[in-house]
């Protein structure tokens, strides 16, 4: 039994090197090409109102987009292409894309005052404000043997009192409003607040229910990571770039 156990351990298949995958994959967002006639079918298919179409302009809000691709599948002319989406933005308005405008977004870093205090070791407390648990699955994946986020100097802590960063998921339900306020008070300043996923940014599909429609009305987010849910590699890239951990 011992020989078999040792043999199995030595022959265990390790995961492939993850760095090329972490830096190679990108989320895809819809954007019209030159053949778009602004018919509005894609907007009618969008369940969260992320797409707006007028007589002169096509607009998508990645803070509302669920990346479900129903819009591109509904386009009869094949006018909606799927292009690389930004991993994060530092401003909410930078998640809005309009036809005829550039889709490039700069990879900025958070303020020097916060980066100087936090340094190169980032302690994160994940805060679930009423999500469907999809984002939590991806957050859990950050610590597995493949993604191994701690090798980059990023750690998850058990208490907001020990945290530099609050990674917020969920639409902030009414029942979680008071609890979230206590978490904000317990986290020492200068803290960084990250809105992870569509629900934390805008409320997503739950914005019409008993929620605050995201954390925007209760806290000033420093970083916005779009997606439903954002992939672990996108979260890692966002953290490394936003904190300048290269």
Domain boundaries along the sequence of the chain: 22-98, 112-243
Asked whether residue 5 carries a pLDDT value surpassing 60, the answer given is no
Asked whether residue 1 carries a pLDDT value surpassing 70, the answer given is no
Judging by DSSP bridges, how do beta strands 80-84 and 28-32 pair with one another? antiparallel
pLDDT tens-digit series, residues 69-116: 999 999 988 899 999 999 999 999 999 999 989 999 888 999 999 988
Alpha helix segments (H runs only) across the chain: 2-10, 19-24, 41-45, 70-74, 112-118, 134-141, 177-186, 198-202, 232-243
pLDDT tens-digit series, residues 21-31: 788 888 999 99
Architecture label for domain 112-243? 3-Layer(aba) Sandwich (3.40)
pLDDT of the residue at 19 = 79
The CA distances from residue 79 to 92, 105, 118, 205, 244, in Å, are 26, 22, 45, 25, 37
119 pLDDT band, cuts 50/70/90, is confident
CB atoms within 10 A of CB 49: 13
Q: Which two tokens stand for residue 105?
A: 């977004």
CATH number of 22-98: 3.30.70.3270
pTM of the model: 0.90
CB atoms within 10 A of CB 52: 16
């Amino acid at each position: 039994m011992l020989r078999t156990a040792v043999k199995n351990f030595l022959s265990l298949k390790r995961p492939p090197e993850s760095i090329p995958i972490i830096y190679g994959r990108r989320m895809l967002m819809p954007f019209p090409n030159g053949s778009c006639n602004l018919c509005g079918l894609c907007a009618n298919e969008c369940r969260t109102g992320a797409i707006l179409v007028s007589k002169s302009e096509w607009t998508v809000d990645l803070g509302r987009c669920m990346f479900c691709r129903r819009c591109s599948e509904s386009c009869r002319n094949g006018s909606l292409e799927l292009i690389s989406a930004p991993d994060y933005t530092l401003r909410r308005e930078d998640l809005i894309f309009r036809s005829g405008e550039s889709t490039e977004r700069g990879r900025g870093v958070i303020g020097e005052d916060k980066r100087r205090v936090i340094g190169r070791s980032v302690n994160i407390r994940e805060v679930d404000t009423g999500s469907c648990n999809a984002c939590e699955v991806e957050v859990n994946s950050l610590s597995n043997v493949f993604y191994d986020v701690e090798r980059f100097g990023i750690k998850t802590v058990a208490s907001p009192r020990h945290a530099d960063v609050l990674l917020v998921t969920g639409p902030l339900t009414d029942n979680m409003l008071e609890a979230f306020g206590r978490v904000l008070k317990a986290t020492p300043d200068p803290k960084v607040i990250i809105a992870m996923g569509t629900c934390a940014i805008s409320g997503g599909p739950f914005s019409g229910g008993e929620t605050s429609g995201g954390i925007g009305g209760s806290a000033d987010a420093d970083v916005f990571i779009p997606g439903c849910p954002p992939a672990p590699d996108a979260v890692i890239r966002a953290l490394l770039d936003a904190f300048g951990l290269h």
